[in-house]
């Protein structure tokens, strides 16, 4: 029994000790011993974490800043307005709403603002990257909006522009959705936005996965390319707390959004997110270009290294990837479910994923693995480190080495990367004392 456990047992009931031990074990495992490569996750900086655990998490703020249904929000109002201003500056947009508590809620809000029951929307196929909320199985279906899929080019691993344009002109949807949860290359927003606007459709861009890349100016700028509205989560390449955001320059659409978020989809909007989101927006204003550029360099280096080790990496025609993501076809190695579990046993955390040629019913055991370089980059890893990670993959999945043996080497490798990069380097304990903040109970 460790000294930590002895102290806990002396002062706390056994049931409480169990909760603390599980929390500490998770923190130690995922923050110190694993290679976290799920593209939809990231790690907040210690500074953002410090302002995340605050009294704001206990409070309600229904409505808009300075127009609330509750009292006691003089600092919350100021914080929300400031966070919106920072996001507006970061993404070069006039209007920001941070009240959606997830990317999915942001999507539902945008759908409801643009269409009604029985209307049509043109979206990317789910196997080719659409998030489930873009489909009849998720938010789109829940609102009764018909899902019409855009044709997808397997050769280019992207939307087929000519065929998609034909579909949009024929269907005349209320809106067209770009973005998703799996995509290697920028979507043809400019070309197809022109077609969508031609038939009176709005254009929505779900930037959840690439928001940090957009902030750093290293991907595409959806608004400049013709998107009317951006929806997103705030915890993927944008390394913030879990939550959502809506961005637009369309005043009329923004007015609709403001009236829909509350009271239709959100009551209270989890106020402790606001200061943490503001800190991350500032981090990206200062360090975002460097961070986003390194993410893409790392993703490309990882893809090339995996291909060199003998893996079937998708997207070769266009250099494998221009985002944070890498896609592997692992059918020959046992399938996505088996491979993901083998890698987890080696402390390499990825997720199984449908590939464009999979059938939807293959969701439980798809052909692919979806990898992301954003959190590895956040911990300071560079291109040469991606080569070492690719060797870990080969040892587990191709050489069939015992994952437990590889896990020891992964833990040793991970010891070199214990500090968050692309943030402000400050003595947090001194900051806490100066601001008279309660110490953040980090269990690592």
Opening angle at CA 327, ends 188 and 136, nearest 5: 60
User: How many helices (H) and strands (E) are present in the chain, helices listed first?
Assistant: 16, 17
Query: According to the model, what pLDDT value does residue 438 have?
Result: 54
pLDDT score, position 210: 98
pLDDT tens by residue, 44-73: 999 999 899 899 999 999 999 999 999 999
Question: How many Å apart are CA 271 and CA 83, to the nearest integer?
Answer: 11
Q: Which helix (H) or strand (E) holds 398?
A: none
Kindly list the structural domains of the chain, giving each domain's residue range(s) and its CATH number in brackets, ordered by start.
Answer: 49-283 (3.40.640.10), 288-414 (3.90.1150.10)
What's the rounded Cα separation, in Å, for the pair 172 and 320?
33
pLDDT for residue 436: 62
Rounded Cα–Cα distance for residues 212 and 284 (Å): 8
Q: Three-class SS string for 199-222?
A: CCCEEEEECCCCHHHHHCCCCCCC
Tokens of 89: 């500056």
C-alpha 222/C-alpha 187 separation (Å) is 9
| Pairing verdict, β 120-123 and 175-179 | parallel
In angstroms, rounded to a whole number, what is the distance separating the alpha carbons of residues 393 and 407?
11
* Burial class of residue 21 (count of CB atoms within 10 Å of its CB; 0-12, 13-18, 19+): middle
Taking CA atoms, 305 is separated from 246, 312, 386, 407, in Å, by 36, 11, 7, 20
Bridge partners (DSSP) listed for residue 63: 68
The ranges of the chain with pLDDT < 70 are 1, 431-444
Q: What is the pLDDT of residue 6?
A: 77
Q: Assign 423 to helix, strand or coil.
A: coil
Contact 204, 189 (CB under 8 A): no
Which run of H or E residues covers position 152? Answer: strand 152-153
**292-311 burial, b if ≥16 CB within 10 A, otherwise e?**
bebbbbbbbbbbbbbbebeb
Q: Which residues contact 237 (CB under 8 A, 6 or more apart)?
A: 42, 209, 210, 211, 212, 213, 292, 295, 324, 374
205-264 tens-digit pLDDT = 999 999 999 999 999 999 999 999 999 999 999 999 999 999 999 999 999 999 999 999
Secondary structure of residue 181 in the 3-state scheme: coil
pLDDT score, position 363: 87
The structure's pTM equals: 0.95
Closest-CA residue to 368 (of 326, 316, 423, 330): 330
Task: State the Cα–Cα distance between residues 296 and 304, nearest whole angstrom.
Answer: 12
The DSSP element (H or E) to which 36 belongs, if any, is strand 35-36
pLDDT value at position 442?
47
Tokens of 192: 């197809």
């Amino acid at each position: 029994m460790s000294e930590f456990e002895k102290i806990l047992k002396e002062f706390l009931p056994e049931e409480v000790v169990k909760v603390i031990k599980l929390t500490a074990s998770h923190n130690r495992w995922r923050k110190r011993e694993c290679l976290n490569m799920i593209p939809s996750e990231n790690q907040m900086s210690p500074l953002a974490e410090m302002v995340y655990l605050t009294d704001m998490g206990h409070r309600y703020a229904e409505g808009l800043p300075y127009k609330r249904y509750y009292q006691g929000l003089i600092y919350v109002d100021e914080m929300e307005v400031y966070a919106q201003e920072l996001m507006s500056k970061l993404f070069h947009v006039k209007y920001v709403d941070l009240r959606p508590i997830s990317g999915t809620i942001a999507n539902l809000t945008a759908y409801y603002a643009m269409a009604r029951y029985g209307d049509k929307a043109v979206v990317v196929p789910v196997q080719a990257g659409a998030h489930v909320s873009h489909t009849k199985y998720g938010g789109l279906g829940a609102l009764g909006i018909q899902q019409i899929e855009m044709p997808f080019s397997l050769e280019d691993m992207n939307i087929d522009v000519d065929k998609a344009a034909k579909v949009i002109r024929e269907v005349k949807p209320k809106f067209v959705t770009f973005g998703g949860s799996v995509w290697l290359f920028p979507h043809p927003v400019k070309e197809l936005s022109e077609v969508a606007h031609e038939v009176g459709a709005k254009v929505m861009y779900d930037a959840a996965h690439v928001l940090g890349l957009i902030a750093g100016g290293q991907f595409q700028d959806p608004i400049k390319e013709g998107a009317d509205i951006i929806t997103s989560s705030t915890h993927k390449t944008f390394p913030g707390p879990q939550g959502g955001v809506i961005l637009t320059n369309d005043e009329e659409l923004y007015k609709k959004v403001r009236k829909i978020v509350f009271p239709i989809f959100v009551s209270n909007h989890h106020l402790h997110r606001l200061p943490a989101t503001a800190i991350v927006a500032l981090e990206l204003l200062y360090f975002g270009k460097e961070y986003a550029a390194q993410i893409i360099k790392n993703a490309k280096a990882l893809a090339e290294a995996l291909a060199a080790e003998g893996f079937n990496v998708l997207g070769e025609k266009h250099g494998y990837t221009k985002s944070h993501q890498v896609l592997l076809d692992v059918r020959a190695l046992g399938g996505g479910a088996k491979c993901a579990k083998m890698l987890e046993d080696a402390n390499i955390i990825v997720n199984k994923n449908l590939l464009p040629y999979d059938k939807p019913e293959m969701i439980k055991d798809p052909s692919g693995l979806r990898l992301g370089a954003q959190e590895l980059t956040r911990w300071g890893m560079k291109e040469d480190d991606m080569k070492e990670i690719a060797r870990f993959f080969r040892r587990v999945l191709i050489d069939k080495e015992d994952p437990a043996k590889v896990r020891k080497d992964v833990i040793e490798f991970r010891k070199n990367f214990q500090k968050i990069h692309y943030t402000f380097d400050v003595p947090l304990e001194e900051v806490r004392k100066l601001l008279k903040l309660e110490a953040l109970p980090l269990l690592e």
